[in-house]
C-alpha cells in the first residue's frame, strides 16, 4: 500500500472512496459535515435512517453521493466525541480498511486523522492510521502456489489534513507509522515462516542482511565461541538438534559514544518439541513461534534504524532448536551456566530460560543502562493474562513503569506481575544451585525468578509474550508484538537522553 499526505476539500476529490468519521448521536466530523453540505444534506438523511449509529468500529458504504466527485463514501463510527481514545480511534481505522478490503477501491482518501483523540496530536493519529492499515492488510502467502486477488483492496491511501500548515506534522507521523509497520511486518514474517526455513542460521542471515540495508553492526557467535564463553546452559538445549546454535549480537549506535546502551534480549527457539520432556502432538506446529522474542528484537531494530533513533541499543539473540535425540539433555542433568551457577534440569521443556540466562550474563559486558528480555516463556502466563496483555516482571520499579507506559501509549499493553523473594524457594534443588522449574503454582513468576538470578548487575525487565506473540485458530499467525511497545520504550529513552 502506498501512502501520501495532502490537504484539500473532500467533496472535490475524484477517488474510488473517501472515508469520513461519524460520532454517536449522528454527529458528523468536520469533513463529513462539508460533504453533507455539498450533498444537500444527503449524509444527514442517511443517518436518520439508523443504518449507522456512530458506535466505534461500525461502518456504512454509500455509492454515488450527490455533489461528490468520489465514487463511494465510507462512513465510520467513532463513538462519543468526548470519549474518543486510542482504542476507539484504532477500531475506526481498522474498520475502514476492512470495509474496503474486498472492493475495487484502489485509491482511497481518509479523513480520520482530522478527528481529535484524547492527549494525542496529528502526528500520532497519522502514525496509528498507517500502522493499523498495514497490519489489517498483512498477508503471509510465501508458500501458497495461488496468491489472493491482488486487484481488490486499497492500493493507495491518501491521508487528508484540513490545513496546509498541518502537512509537515502529518508527514512526520507517516514516517513513524511506516517505520513501525515495517518492523512489525518483519517480525510477523519471521514468526510465520515454517521451521524448516526459519532455522538459527536463517535468523543469523536475516540479522546480517540488516547490516547492508539498515547500517547496523552485527556479530554472530558460533558454537566454538559459545563453548569458550562457558555457555553450558545455552549449549545444552541445542545438543539434540542437527542445527547449530547461534548467538546474534546487533548494535544500533546512534547515541553519544559515552552513552550506555539499552540491551534487548530475545528468545530464539526456532522450534520447540519440548526435548526429552516431549510436548503433546496437538498444536505442536505452533512451536515454530517460540522464536517470536527474537523476531521482535529484529523487528524493533529495523524500526529504530529506519527512524534513525538517537540511542545506543544492543540486541542479543540466543537461537537454537530444542529437539530430542540420543545427545539431547535429560531431566536430571546438571548444567553449568556462563555465570558459574549450576542448574538441575527437571524439565527439558523449560528450555527458554536456559538459553536466556547465558545471554543475560553475556549482556553484562555492555555495561547497560537497562536490559529487557522478550520471550514466549510460559503457558502459565497465558493462563494468568490471556491473550491481551504481556506479562511484565522487573527488578526495578521505575523501569517497569516505563515499559507499562510505553505499552499503554502504543496499545501493546503489558501487566506488572510480582517478583517477590517469596517465590524463589520454589526453585530450590537438592543437587544444584537451582532447578529450572518451580512447580505448577505461579509458573510464570518462578520462570522470571529464575532469570532474575542472572541479572543482579543491572536494571532488568522480562516480558513474557507467550499469550500475545501469535494467534491460534482461524486467524493463526504472528502478531508482531511487542515491537510497538519496545519501539515506544526506546523512543522515550532517546527523548530523555537528548535533554
- pLDDT tens profile 393-405: 999 999 999 999 9
Grid look-up 523487528 returns: 299
Domain 193-497 classification at class level: alpha beta
DSSP assignment of 272-320 equals E--TTSPPPSTTGGGGGGGGHHHHHHHHHHHHHHHHT-SSEEEEEEEEE
Strands annotated E in 198-297: 217-221, 246-253, 262-266, 268-272
Per-residue pLDDT of the chain (499 residues; tens, 9 = 90+): 999 999 878 878 899 999 999 999 889 999 999 999 999 999 999 999 999 989 988 999 999 999 999 999 999 999 999 999 999 999 999 999 999 998 999 999 999 999 999 889 999 999 999 999 999 999 999 999 886 656 688 999 999 998 889 999 999 999 999 999 999 999 999 999 999 999 999 999 999 999 989 989 999 999 999 999 999 999 999 999 999 999 999 999 999 999 999 999 999 999 999 999 999 999 999 999 999 999 999 999 999 999 999 999 999 999 999 999 999 999 999 999 999 999 999 999 999 999 999 999 999 999 999 999 999 999 999 999 999 999 999 999 999 999 999 999 999 999 999 999 999 999 999 999 999 999 999 999 999 999 999 999 999 999 999 999 999 999 999 999 999 999 999 999 999 987 6
2-180 is classed CATH 3.40.630.30: no
Cell of 286: 505452533
- What's the confidence (pLDDT) of residue 25? 87
Q: Of these residues, 90, 239, 353, 493, which one is catalytic?
A: 353
Cα angle 460, 461, 466; round to 5:
145
Options 98, 152, 260, 279, the catalytic residue: 279
pLDDT the model gives residue 13: 86
Residue owning grid cell 534504524: 305
pLDDT for 106 equals: 94
Concerning whether 496 is annotated as a catalytic residue, the answer is: no
Q: Does residue 353 have an active-site annotation?
A: yes
Neighbour tally for 495: CB within 10 Å = 12
CB 470 within 8 A of CB 380: no
**Residue ranges of the chain that CATH labels 3.40.630.10:** 193-497
* pLDDT score at 141: 92
In which residue ranges of the chain is CATH 3.40.220.10 found? 2-180
How far is 398 from 416, CA to CA, in rounded Å? Answer: 12
**156-161 and 2-7 beta bridge pairing:** parallel
Tell me if residue 57 falls in helix, strand or coil: coil
Amino acid at each position: 500500500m502506498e501512502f501520501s499526505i495532502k490537504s484539500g476539500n473532500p467533496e472535490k476529490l475524484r477517488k474510488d472512496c473517501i472515508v469520513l468519521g461519524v460520532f454517536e448521536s449522528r454527529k458528523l466530523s468536520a469533513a463529513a459535515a462539508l460533504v453533507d453540505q455539498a450533498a444537500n444534506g444527503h449524509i444527514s438523511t442517511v443517518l436518520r435512517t439508523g443504518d449507522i449509529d456512530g458506535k466505534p468500529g461500525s461502518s456504512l458504504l454509500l455509492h454515488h453521493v450527490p455533489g461528490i466527485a468520489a465514487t463511494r463514501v465510507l462512513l465510520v463510527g467513532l463513538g462519543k466525541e468526548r470519549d474518543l481514545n486510542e482504542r476507539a480511534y484504532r477500531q475506526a481505522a481498522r474498520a475502514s480498511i476492512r470495509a474496503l478490503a474486498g472492493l475495487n477501491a484502489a485509491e482511497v482518501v481518509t479523513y480520520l486523522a482530522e478527528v481529535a483523540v484524547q492527549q494525542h496530536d496529528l502526528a500520532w493519529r497519522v502514525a496509528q492510521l498507517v500502522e493499523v492499515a498495514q497490519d489489517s492488510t498483512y498477508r503471509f502467502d510465501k508458500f501458497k502456489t495461488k496468491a489472493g486477488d491482488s486487484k481488490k483492496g486499497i492500493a493507495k491511501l491518501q491521508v487528508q489534513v484540513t490545513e496546509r500548515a498541518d502537512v509537515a506534522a502529518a508527514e512526520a507521523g507517516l514516517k513513524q507509522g511506516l517505520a513501525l509497520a515495517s518492523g512489525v511486518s518483519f517480525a510477523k514474517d519471521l514468526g510465520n515462516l515454517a521451521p524448516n526455513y526459519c532455522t538459527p542460521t536463517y535468523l543469523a542471515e536475516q540479522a546480517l542482511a540488516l547490516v547492508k540495508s539498515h547500517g547496523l553492526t552485527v556479530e554472530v557467535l558460533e558454537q566454538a565461541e559459545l563453548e569458550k564463553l562457558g555457555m553450558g546452559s545455552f549449549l545444552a538445549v541445542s545438543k539434540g538438534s542437527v542445527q547449530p546454535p547461534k548467538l546474534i549480537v546487533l548494535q544500533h549506535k546512534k547515541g553519544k559514544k559515552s552513552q550506555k546502551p539499552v540491551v534487548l534480549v530475545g528468545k530464539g527457539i526456532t522450534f520447540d518439541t519440548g526435548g526429552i520432556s516431549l510436548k503433546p502432538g496437538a498444536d505442536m506446529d505452533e512451536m515454530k513461534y517460540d522464536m517470536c522474542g527474537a523476531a521482535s528484537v529484529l523487528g524493533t531494530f529495523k524500526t529504530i534504524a529506519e527512524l534513525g533513533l538517537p540511542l545506543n541499543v544492543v540486541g542479543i539473540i540466543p537461537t537454537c532448536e530444542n529437539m530430542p535425540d540420543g545427545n539431547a539433555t535429560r531431566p536430571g542433568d546438571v548444567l553449568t551456566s556462563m555465570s558459574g551457577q549450576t542448574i538441575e534440569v527437571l524439565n527439558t521443556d523449560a528450555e527458554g530460560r536456559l538459553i536466556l540466562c547465558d545471554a543475560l550474563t553475556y549482556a553484562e559486558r555492555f555495561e547497560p543502562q537497562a536490559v529487557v528480555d522478550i520471550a514466549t516463556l510460559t503457558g502459565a502466563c497465558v493462563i494468568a493474562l490471556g491473550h491481551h496483555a504481556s506479562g511484565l516482571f522487573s527488578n526495578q520499579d521505575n523501569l517497569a513503569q516505563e515499559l507499562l507506559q510505553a505499552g499503554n501509549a502504543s496499545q501493546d499493553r503489558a501487566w506488572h506481575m510480582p517478583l517477590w523473594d517469596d517465590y524463589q524457594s520454589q526453585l530450590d534443588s537438592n543437587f544444584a544451585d537451582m532447578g529450572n522449574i518451580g512447580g505448577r503454582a505461579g509458573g510464570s513468576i518462578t520462570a522470571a525468578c529464575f532469570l532474575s538470578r542472572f541479572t543482579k548487575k543491572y536494571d532488568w525487565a522480562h516480558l513474557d509474550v507467550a499469550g500475545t506473540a501469535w494467534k491460534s485458530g482461524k486467524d493463526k499467525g504472528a502478531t508482531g508484538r511487542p515491537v510497538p511497545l519496545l519501539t515506544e520504550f526506546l523512543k522515550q529513552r532517546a527523548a530523555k537522553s537528548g535533554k
